[in-house]
Amino acid sequence: MDRIRIVGGNKLNGIIPISGAKNAALPLMIASLLTDETLILDNVPRLADVAQLQRILGNHGLDIMSKGKRPGDHEYQGQTLHISAANIIDTTAPYELVSKMRASFWVIAPLLARMHVAKVSLPGGCAIGTRPVDLLIMALEKLGAELQIDGGYVIARAPGGLTGAEIDFPKVTVSGTHVALMAATLAKGTTVINNAACEPEIVDVADCLNKMGAKISGAGTPRIVIEGVKKLHGARHTVLPDRIEAGTYAMAVAMTGGDVQLAGARPELLQSALDVLTEAGATITPNNEGIRVTRNGAGISPVKVTTAPFPGFPTDLQAQLMALMACAKGSSHITETIFENRFMHVQELARFGARISLDGETAIIDGIAKLRGAPVMATDLRASVSLVIAALAAEGETTVNRVYHLDRGFERLEEKLSACGATIERISG
């Protein structure tokens, strides 16, 4: 199993290109099931989760052609996927595929909308709390689907097709909004999603669906209206840049010091995180090429942060911020409100010498002058990269084990960091 070895103490200087957003690429790939014409997606990141979803879609009979670099392309430009769901030959998503990635459960929505039947295993993925699918099922039932759970599978039918309805989510749910959005595009009549998630990735998927002929308005607000259409067609769409990756590297620069241009990053996608970094002592400068992050000389100031749905501080940057605050001059408070059990990285950060105590859903971090390198283990996708951030600033050598978690969400992490002066390498086997 691969490991990553890091020797800390180097400042980061240079350019880090930001990849396409995993959290948009996955639902966009799933949306290809809604049409029998080809959907072309540009700037798709090369990630383990993308490859896994390609296998899942292939199981339904989709043909996926991947185009890599072309003459003149930048080495970090994402791949282009041509996805054709002309013939869906299987409406079952089996346990052995779905159990590896939660987002693959979302295929239930386009399969039900287009084929009027689906059998999808209950999902797997990161072990962050329960993250149940009850709100997704509720949304599909509102649209007229008949659902039952049998032997670990959700069996869904809509014999006459789905019908538009009013869907009121009791809490903001990104996955529920994605599912309702995709299912409603081919439903008869009008669907209104209330208390919808406002994340940029939702807007990106809605933009792509509109290019395919859907009639969606209000994406990015808590109220989305979808006028159902009979058929969707092919389209071409570029995946938006990954705000979590941009925020992660911004925190790495704040941690080590230095001066890095995050090429292609869009500040409006992560303004709350940039505000927190400014408060912590980094200098954030948006420009035509992306976002420039610097921290020269100034120490790291403590902050108080509570995670919240967009446009609040993202839960997916909580672990990275905690690593940064481990070296702040004072005491920081981070409260996690989105996922229970999302402090699994605390005990691993403690191996660096970080002083972190938990009080319910709040972590109190008492900053220390220097972390020490240590052997650590990744526990989930976002937590694993917090260990990398800590290691970049720690004295001595760190080995991060179980890096397959990193490969799920960060494209060419070692290459991007080493190009900016980090001493980091992957050790295979």
CA distance 269 to 246: 10
DSSP 9: -
Virtual CA dihedral for 51, 55, 61, 63, nearest 10 degrees?
30
Establish whether 134 is an annotated binding residue: yes
The annotation status of 11 as a binding-site residue, yes or no, is no
Identify which of 341, 265, 273, 282 has the alpha carbon closest to the alpha carbon of residue 308.
Answer: 273
- Residue of 126, 208, 327, 420 with catalytic role: 126
Q: Are 122 and 130 in contact (CB under 8 A)?
A: no
Q: Which two tokens stand for residue 388?
A: 């990398």
Q: Are 178 and 27 within 8 A, CB to CB?
A: yes
Annotated binding residue 355: no
Between helices 174-185 and 22-31, what is the axis angle to 10°?
30
Active site residue 420: no
Q: Which token pair is 374?
A: 């240590």
94 labelled as ligand-binding?
no
225 is in an annotated binding site: no
Question: What Cα–Cα distance (Å) separates residue 315 from each residue in 174, 265, 340?
Answer: 12, 19, 11
Q: Which run of H or of E encompasses 14?
A: strand 12-17
Known binding residue 242? Answer is no
* Residue 2 in marked binding region: no
3-state class of 29 per DSSP? helix
Residue 375 marked in a binding site: no
Residue 132 marked ligand-binding = yes
223 is in an annotated binding site: no
Residues annotated in a binding site for phosphoenolpyruvate: 22-23
Residues annotated in a binding site for UDP-N-acetyl-alpha-D-glucosamine: 102, 131-135, 316, 338
Residues annotated in a binding site: 22-23, 102, 131-135, 316, 338
Catalytic residues: 126
